[in-house]
Structure 1
Amino acid sequence: MAGGCRLLLSVRVYCIRTFTCSLHTPVGSQSQPCAPVFYKAPAYGMRTALVDQYGHHSYQDLYLRSFALSKEITCLLGNPRNDISPERVSFLCPNDASYVVCQWAAWMSGAIAVPLFKNHPPVELEYILKDSQSALVIAEAKYTDVIAPLTDKLGIANITLPRCHQHSTKEPLNHLEPHHFDLDWKERGAMIIYTSGTTGRPKGVLSTHSNLSAMVRT
């Protein structure tokens, strides 16, 4: 279990660094220091952002899908952007485009993203949801049988993400420019990642947007 968690952490840290480095050079858009990577996505439009088992996903596609999901989050939680202490949004999905969509959607909402590990038993998932004080769980459809009983037990809201989550809005990107998400990102919480040691419960480590930005640039 511990080895699996460490591998998941290293893979996801690598993904954050690789994906964010591709957005490091500005392309006709202005960004603020330490802002999340989605800030620059509109400038890359239909360029391929990543490839998974479902095919190629453009920056525009990821951005629009994330924005649509962020609206669902704010519908359930109000507007976490207005909170001094951001809400925690946990998500359970495969290592594909849906991971990026959930992560960006949480950030667009001003929340802290808490990725869950699909191989954790329900008792560990329950512990993480309680320990992180998650207010919402997003789970891909195939994981609802695991997540639904936990959210019901803990009284946490949940959103089911379709297996091949497609966003069909034709809303122009210029209506969704990142200035709509302006926050003081630097010291705002970005992610809580849980890792297991050889003994004891998984331990959550909070990274700020400034931490992630520094990680990418080193």
Structure 2
Amino acid sequence: MVMPLNAMAVPQAFFEQVEKHRTRVALRHKQYGIWNKVTWGQYGENVRQVAAAILSLELPRGQTVCILGDNRPEWLICHMAIMTAGMRTCGIYPTSSPDEIRYIIDHSEAQLLFAENEEQLDKILDILPSLRLQRIVVWDEKGLWGYTHPRVVFFREFIRRAEAHLADHPVAVTDSLRAIDVEQTAMVIYTSGTTGRPKGALLSHRNISMVTQAFLQIIPVSEKDEVVSYLPLAHIYENLVSVFMPVFTGVTVNFVESLETLPANLREISPTIFGSVPRIWEKFASNIHIKMDDSTPLKRFLYRRCVQVGRRYQQARQAGAGSLLVWRAVYALAYWGVLYHLKRQLGFERIRWALCSAAAASKELFEFFNILGIPLRDGYGQTESTGIIALQRLDKEPRYGYVGEALPGLEMRISTEGEILARGPGVFQGYFKNPELTEETLRDGWLHTGDLGAIDDGWLKIVGRMKDILITSGGKNITPEFIEN
């Protein structure tokens, strides 16, 4: 049964999970070779403390607070605390240059920033005289022992503010939580444009809660699932996976040590849900191909035959052929004999749903991983749509070349010019301090994506970008992809 979507403040959903799963593991992170666990109860208490410390600064409600650092528990704790305190989070890519950081802090009008370590603090100190920042909170003190600066405070010292503030205002966090309106902005996400400076897309609590719940209607997720956090949290996708989906389901989030250790960490964690960009999936596939090319003639023969069997089985499933039962039986032998072991070596032994999105990927890539028993699906969305517009469902056979069907509660159509338009509760509030671009992007409630597409029986296909349209001598609009094909 499809449940109605319920708009709610993100921290409200978070603290409901805290009460529901207080002793269950919420976060895992590796330190000195050991996986450390944070329960939902500990997660919730940490968020309350940081929220109280933020409230003690008496910043204007609705203020932007920036976070600059790699994925780690403190990122999620501060993110949720910022929203709990009635503020809005703005993540900054940890690879950003001082000039890029200066622009975002200045444009977002942030007065408070959380920085990961000495490396990120150094970037801020280089540009601090030109910033309006009142306070910089540093998580990791390594290399900074004895360092003092009037505007810099270490995380453990910042937490002490919470104790004093809560002693004088014991219900401050509770009152702040109750005061959050679902239409209030929860995040400002800066998206890179093709030209000029990045744009600050405003996402409300309604946007986030409605899209997350709509996603969960087509991809069943529970507290038994585990995800891996490794893509930048300054991006909407990683927020959906590592922050918002767990907040509504109780999923456990595992932080990888680094992008270089991702393959090893995947084998340790064996996530049930995993998403990445085509480049990462292509690397996984390439590693398997190289390994099999270097194996014995017998192993190469068995591998190639099993992949052929898997391909015939996939084709039979797509066509609904009468021989499907036969191919299912043959595939079971190929899977348990060879393919399953390759899937396990990748770290996907328990995988239930996998996503390959953010850029175009070949049909062969999707087909290969589905042959291995990894249900790799495509999807399409933008920051301005809170991450998702269309998605391939798990309960339907994937149509290669199509990104999927519209998210529940979202309308999707193609304009007369061929542009993909979307309307629904996930469409963003607009661009911060850019009413002209907001008016251009949002017209009559419809989000103009700037992408060209086609819809076939409810399935969306991406054709190209509006800016790439070419006009022939006969006045016909065509795309470079059309010419190439």
TM-score by length of 2: 0.34
How far residue 58 of structure 1 moved from its aligned partner, in angstroms, is: 1.4
Matched, 1:60 2:41: yes
Residue 113 of structure 1, aligned match among 69, 72, 89: 89
Distance 2:105 2:139 in 1: 21
Matched, 1:95 2:76: no
Unaligned runs of 5+ in 1: 1-31
Structure with the bigger RCO (C-alpha within 8 Å, sep 6+) is 1
Pair 1:161–1:153, CA change in 2 (3 A): same
How far residue 93 of structure 1 moved from its aligned partner, in angstroms, is: 2.0
How far residue 207 of structure 1 moved from its aligned partner, in angstroms, is: 0.1
The aligned residue for residue 114 of structure 2 is: 138
How far residue 67 of structure 1 moved from its aligned partner, in angstroms, is: 1.8
1:108-129: CA deviation from partner (whole Å, max 9, x where unpaired): 2100111111111110110011
Distance 1:151 1:137 in 2: 12
Residue 160 of structure 1, aligned match among 119, 122, 137: 137
Matched, 1:35 2:16: no
Percent of pairs with identical residues: 25
Retained in 2: the 8 A contact 1:50–1:97?
yes
Distance 2:101 2:83 in 1: 21
The aligned residue for residue 276 of structure 2 is: none
The aligned residue for residue 7 of structure 1 is: none
Pair 1:201–1:125, CA change in 2 (3 A): same
Pair 1:184–1:67, CA change in 2 (3 A): closer
Retained in 2: the 8 A contact 1:89–1:111?
yes
- Equivalent AA in structure 2 for residue 204 of structure 1: G
CA-based RMSD of the aligned residues comes to 2.8
Pair 1:69–1:159, CA change in 2 (3 A): farther
Retained in 1: the 8 A contact 2:52–2:172?
no
The aligned residue for residue 29 of structure 1 is: none
How far residue 79 of structure 1 moved from its aligned partner, in angstroms, is: 5.5
1:41-93: CA deviation from partner (whole Å, max 9, x where unpaired): 431212111222342221122222222222222222x164xx4xx11111112
Distance 1:215 1:177 in 2: 29
How many residues align? The count is 179
* Matched residue SS, 2:187: strand
Pair 1:62–1:47, CA change in 2 (3 A): same
How far residue 214 of structure 1 moved from its aligned partner, in angstroms, is: 1.2
TM-score by length of 1: 0.71
- Equivalent AA in structure 2 for residue 119 of structure 1: T
How far residue 100 of structure 1 moved from its aligned partner, in angstroms, is: 0.6
Retained in 2: the 8 A contact 1:141–1:160?
no
Distance 1:157 1:79 in 2: 10
Distance 1:90 1:163 in 2: 16
The aligned residue for residue 16 of structure 1 is: none
* Matched residue SS, 2:27: strand
Matched, 1:212 2:208: yes
Retained in 1: the 8 A contact 2:121–2:138?
no
The aligned residue for residue 22 of structure 2 is: 45
Pair 1:152–1:101, CA change in 2 (3 A): farther
Retained in 2: the 8 A contact 1:41–1:60?
no
1:131-167: CA deviation from partner (whole Å, max 9, x where unpaired): 1111211112232111233344313122323239777
